[in-house]
Structure 1
Amino acid sequence: MGTSPCMYCSIKRATRLCPNGRKICTIGRKMAMEYHKAPLPTLFSVEAVISFFRIRFGERHFGGDWHDFPELLYVEEGEHRILVDGEPFLLRAGEAILYAPNAYHIGPAPSRALVDIVSFDTDFPSLSSLCNRVLTLTAGQKRLLSDIMTEGLSSFRRADVAEGVRGLAPVENVNPYSLMRLKNNLEVLLIDLHAEAAAGPTNASSNRDNSKEQRLHLITGYLRSQLHRTLTREEVAAACHISDSALKELFHEQLGCGPMTYFLALKVGEAKRLIRESNMNFTEIAEVLGFGSIHHFSKFFKAKTGLTPSAYARSIDKR
């Protein structure tokens, strides 16, 4: 005869934990069932956040930067043109780009776009598959990012520069559950973006979909190969078999700046890379980049970055 629910409820029950992690449920002296705890893997973690910004650039130029952590830039409204390690990208509303650690990124032309920026520290193993490419966010991913920005902007303040650090500090009495939700949402967004990128190119738009962009790529490649020289626009046009007027039109249409502005932005990026990574002194760097003197190089570098080469080198040491 079976046991009725009422009789079952009156039976003494107990649980014990076995050494292997399984839970055994006993009813009286009889073993009723066995439970096994299925472990959930931790494949990666977002360990920290460094910045949250919501910016409408107006007529300002977006200055060049690099850092040893990834940074996500998402365009809410408008269009935003950027160079990443010299490669041009055009981001439209609803699109994002994840800068790889140590990628030099700069906006060569003024932008009126409204953008969200979040940078973070993670051990995500497949990060490189998402970096330095245009990503088109789905409606669900946009909601996730909106929640991330709302949580981040309300939970953190910018660290006091007087403290000798850059980055974020939690606001007073921040809710730890809010921070956990922020961390989880960032991790889910990365997983979601990676899953779509692995499934195929549907979520990422190529930066070279037409003949104009292919031609631009060839010209920018030529400019990158000539950083040791001082070039004129006419020389570039002749070397790339394009008229001077067509060259100007192509760059302004695709990048929002002239070819020589782009070339000088490349020089700034290469100068920063050499200061960071090489053992050259400033005189040697000036020679490698085609400057006639260390004075000319220093004046150019400060005009473009706001720092002298020495001050920039010191800022790297602090990082």
Structure 2
Amino acid sequence: MRGYESKKIFHFDNLYRQNPKEYSHFRLYQIGDLSCKKGYLIEEHEQECFEISYIYEGRGSFIIDGSKYFLAQGDVCINAPGELHSIHADGDEYFRFFYVGFDIKSSSRYKKLFMDKLRTIRYIDKPYFEDKNNIGESFLYALNELSNANEFSELMIESCLNKILIKTLTSLSNIENPIYKFNNILGTKKELIYNTISYIDYNIFKIKKLKQISNSLGYSYSHLSHTFKEEIGVTLQEYFLNKRIQKAKELLIEKNQSVSEVAETLSYQSIHSFSKAFKNAVGVSPAAFQRNKSIKI
């Protein structure tokens, strides 16, 4: 990993690219722990293997194939081979993250299962998720074994890495974004509404224009808009704006993203257009909302 050395606090890097460590289901190429200050940059490079990163402290942006994702403490990011990838420490506080680089062995009895799940990275809305399975704890145990090795360390490390991989793949299963189809017995209108709402939920960070929704679902915008209003009681535009503002509130309070970061994450054309839409909907500016955390989300 390359970066600005003056911004680096410490880097516990274990690199095995020339001689990968062999475990039952995967080859380990790299595992480490990096702590840095605001402004630290890992320059763009091509990903050589799968990589799982866990944000232990602070905030940073991961730029993957030109798309920028803002990650905070407790988030897990997954990178696939061939992706162009860089990392930037954004927050005012320290930024620290753990990482592991690996590939799946062809001899693993679970190779198909693992690879099928890992391939979904390319089809999900965002290549990261909030850790709800104690993935960070497994990283800590693995890194501790590496720095305090004993006769059982290799077994412990393999156990921890298995947990990191399996917990990550389990989480991936929960964030895949298929458009689920109702049985036709429920009626085509209800099916269309459900599919529309599902599409918005899973693609909230990508939608820039409402026509993206109708085009993706294979309907004209006028037909979709009319049906949505008829069935739900609010226009498609009103529903989408409400979902977008609700997500903005979560990012401002729970993720502590800046106003500019939220505007970019939610694909607004500018900070001004985001701030105007937010104030019209909420009654206060995004900055005022973030300062006054007593306001209910």
TM class by shorter-chain length?
A: 0.3 to 0.5
Higher radius of gyration, 1 or 2: 1
